[in-house]
Structure 1
Amino acid sequence: MTEQEIAAAVALLVQARRSGKQIEALPVVPSSVAEAHAIQDHLAALLGETVGAFKANAPPGKEPTRGLIFARMIRPSPARIASSEVPHLGVEGEVAFRFTRALPARDTPYTRGEVSGAVVALPAVEVVSARFRNALTRPPLEQLADCIANGALVPGTAMQDWPNLDMARLRVSLLVNGKPVVEQQGGHPTGDPLGVAVALVNMMREAGGVRVGQMVTTGSWTGLRFLKS
């Protein structure tokens, strides 16, 4: 994408976020993860939004990706969110990590031990809602440019003793209106949510690092569930 094409994509996403009106597609689909990330970063700057968290993916053998979650859309549990803010009404049960110390930009990669020592773990619900009318039909890099369709994040209570948990085999329950929709053991896409956090930290090494208090949510254990208002 040229700088003009990136600017046009950003302008359309800004308009969609400010107006609440969904769009069909971007003028040009990004051709790389770097271009999609650049669109996100320009979007945050133009909107003047503070980045409070990230959603991250780190599929084995593939390039990791991240989506920005703006601070005003982080709603501590128990949360109430207007359907007008997140019209697609998707939810995913996840494990997130909150950074208890900064991991600033640097040349060398952060190790798993360094990241583990800088976070606490917490349960979270990611609310999924895109700026595209039919988000799931859009190409993956176009969804990535739209912050991977993040609508909001609802973090729960942090667990200081999380290193003692068998993270690959956590028991997961998702209830809707008091009725279980998912009840299972395990289910994370990679079985290693901390590994996704490590990938996020190293993605951010050349983009200012991560700050104290920021969070990263690390992938759905429940699949994407679309609810009603």
Structure 2
Amino acid sequence: MTGTTEKKAALLAEKLIAARRSGERLARSEADMLGADFETADAHAVQSFVFEAFGPAGAFKTGRKVEAAPVLVAPIYSDVLRPTGSGFTASEVKSCGIELEIAFRLDRPLPDLNADDFAERARACVTALPVIEIVDGRIEDFPTLPDALKLADNQVNGGLVWSEPETEDARSFVEPVVKLSFNGQAVVSGPQKVPGGDAFQTFLAFTQTIGKHLGGFNPGQIVTTGTLTGLIFVEPGTVVEGHIEGLGSVSTTYR
């Protein structure tokens, strides 16, 4: 990060903090100007500044479009991490995007990252969960933001609803059978491929990437692994129900 981008990161963070507090989105033109040369380190610097005002993180977003790609890291603040059945209001979330995902909750400290059997031992430290991510941004026209600006704004996260799994039996982290319904009407149904190939492998890559960023990944925190349903926006008054075969169901309401 250069001195110029560091100053721009601090200024963008100030504006994102103001946007979160006022509920008024930052102008896209201003965000584009500040983030024009941003790379991942610059986006993480913005996250760190905003985290000081709104942390801690109850969860993280990760994911990747293809298996060989680096994974992203973005915080989900504790005040918008809620159990199944909880809702979000239009005053909290201005534009409510919905994504059904597989997530992993860390139940006990991870083993040494360099251990030869790290993957096997890490699997025993986590519980897989069905989750619904709420997508919203603090910048105008946030769905079309460049990748670095999305990452700077916490990968446009607005909240996360989680549920305890209903079973530990057969499940797929590669192509699970899912169902997503709005007000009782199915909008996505059937087998859906996990972005990046395998949700657990994406989780493992996240553990190797986060390091001490925003306090690191600690027991009790959850990490998502990418949408199974695409991003779908809903209007106030929508009851959202998701089901992942082998994991169970999760629901929320946008009021």
Q: TM-score of the superposition, structure 2-length normalised?
A: 0.82
Could you tell me how far 1:148 is from its partner in structure 2? 0.6
- Give a deviation string over 1:39-83, Cα, whole Å, max 9, x none: 1122101x1421100010133232221111000001111011101
Query: What is the aligned partner in structure 1 of residue 94 from structure 2?
Result: 87
Q: Does 1:5 align with 2:46?
A: no
Instruction: Name the Cα RMSD after superposition.
Output: 2.0
Structure 1 residue ranges (4+ consecutive) displaced by more than 6 angstroms after TM superposition: none
CA distance in 2, matches of 1:107, 1:223: 31
Could you tell me how far 1:108 is from its partner in structure 2? 3.9
CA distance in 1, matches of 2:90, 2:138: 14
Q: More deviation in 26-35 or 78-87?
A: 26-35
CA distance in 1, matches of 2:224, 2:85: 18
Query: What is the aligned partner in structure 1 of residue 186 from structure 2?
Result: 180
- Give a deviation string over 1:82-121, Cα, whole Å, max 9, x none: 01211111000101110001238x7748932232121001
Q: 1:31 aligns with which of 34, 38, 55?
A: 38
> Where does the alignment leave 5 or more consecutive residues of structure 1 unmatched?
none
CA distance in 2, matches of 1:180, 1:107: 41
Query: What is the aligned partner in structure 1 of residue 220 from structure 2?
Result: 213
Query: What is the aligned partner in structure 1 of residue 161 from structure 2?
Result: 154
Could you tell me how far 1:226 is from its partner in structure 2? 0.6
CA distance in 1, matches of 2:207, 2:98: 24
CA 1:92–1:14: 2 relative to 1, 3 Å: same
Letter in 2 for 1:42: F
CA distance in 1, matches of 2:114, 2:41: 19
Q: More deviation in 166-175 or 9-18?
A: 166-175
> Where does the alignment leave 5 or more consecutive residues of structure 2 unmatched?
237-255
CA 1:10–1:225: 2 relative to 1, 3 Å: same
CA 1:175–1:83: 2 relative to 1, 3 Å: same
Query: What is the aligned partner in structure 2 of residue 189 from structure 1?
Result: 195
Q: More deviation in 15-24 or 152-161?
A: 152-161
Could you tell me how far 1:21 is from its partner in structure 2? 0.7
Contact 1:109 1:205 in 2 (8 A): no
Letter in 2 for 1:6: A
Q: TM-score of the superposition, structure 1-length normalised?
A: 0.91
Q: Does 1:202 align with 2:205?
A: no
Letter in 1 for 2:101: E
Could you tell me how far 1:159 is from its partner in structure 2? 5.2
**SS at the partner of 2:206?**
helix
Q: More deviation in 137-146 or 184-193?
A: 184-193
Count of residue correspondences? 226
Percent identity at matched positions?
31
CA 1:22–1:169: 2 relative to 1, 3 Å: same
Contact 2:54 2:77 in 1 (8 A): no
- Give a deviation string over 1:178-221, Cα, whole Å, max 9, x none: 11000011321123111111121111224343111100011000
Q: 2:55 aligns with which of 4, 25, 49?
A: 49
Query: What is the aligned partner in structure 2 of residue 167 from structure 1?
Result: 173
**SS at the partner of 2:62?**
strand
